[in-house]
């Protein structure tokens, strides 16, 4: 999500938006990786997967062009759905790999039980 929003700000030639999404998005992802093993099992494991894309959608709605504005623009065009899917899959796999390595490292040093990892 951070990359797609960053790319949109880049296309719109909005350096402030590019910088803000990288800083706050990176902070959120790092915090999520650091603290997710410490969160209690329960409602948070259901809320976070829904809240993350809703936050991205809200940011896009608030600070980027609407579909109608893109459709009516001579300058901008829609991205291919397949391009968005490919980028999303690549980043999802990267996140899974990083999270798995992080959780296994925590299990190896005894901060997390292996049963919690897998």
| DSSP secondary structure letters along 35-100 | HGGGSPSSTHHHHHHHHHHHHHHHHHHHHS--HHHHHT-SS--PPPHHHHHHHHHHHHHHHHHHHH
21, 73 Cβ separation under 8 angstroms: no
Q: Are residues 57 and 14 in the same domain?
A: yes
Q: Are residues 71 and 24 in the same domain?
A: yes
Q: Are residues 39 and 94 in the same domain?
A: no
Q: Are residues 3 and 52 in the same domain?
A: yes
Q: Are residues 31 and 51 in the same domain?
A: yes
Q: Give pLDDT tens digits for 89-103.
A: 999 999 999 999 988
Which residue has tokens 């259901």? 46
- C-alpha span between 1 and 56 (Å, rounded): 6
Q: Give pLDDT tens digits for 30-64.
A: 998 888 877 777 888 788 889 988 999 999 999 99
User: What is the percent of the chain where pLDDT is above 70?
Assistant: 95
Q: Are residues 3 and 14 in the same domain?
A: yes
Count of Cβ atoms closer than 10 Å to residue 24 Cβ: 13
Nearest-5° angle of CA 20, CA 101, CA 93?
60
What per-residue confidence (pLDDT) applies to 21? Answer: 95
Q: Are residues 62 and 108 in the same domain?
A: no
Count of domains in the chain? 2
Look up the domain containing 86 and give its range.
79-118
Position 115 confidence tier, pLDDT thresholds 50, 70, 90: low
Q: Are residues 57 and 96 in the same domain?
A: no
- C-alpha span between 37 and 35 (Å, rounded): 6
């Amino acid at each position: 999500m951070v990359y797609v929003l960053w790319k949109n700000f880049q296309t719109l030639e909005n350096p402030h938006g590019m910088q803000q999404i990288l800083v706050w998005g990176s902070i959120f992802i790092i915090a999520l990786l650091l603290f997710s093993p410490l969160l209690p099992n329960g409602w948070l494991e259901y809320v976070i997967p829904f809240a993350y894309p809703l936050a991205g959608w809200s940011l896009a709605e608030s600070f980027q062009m609407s579909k109608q504005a893109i459709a009516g623009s001579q300058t901008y065009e829609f991205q291919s759905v397949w391009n968005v899917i490919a980028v999303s899959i690549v980043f999802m796999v990267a996140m899974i790999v990083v999270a798995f390595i992080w959780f296994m490292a925590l299990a190896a040093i005894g901060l997390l039980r292996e049963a919690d990892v897998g």
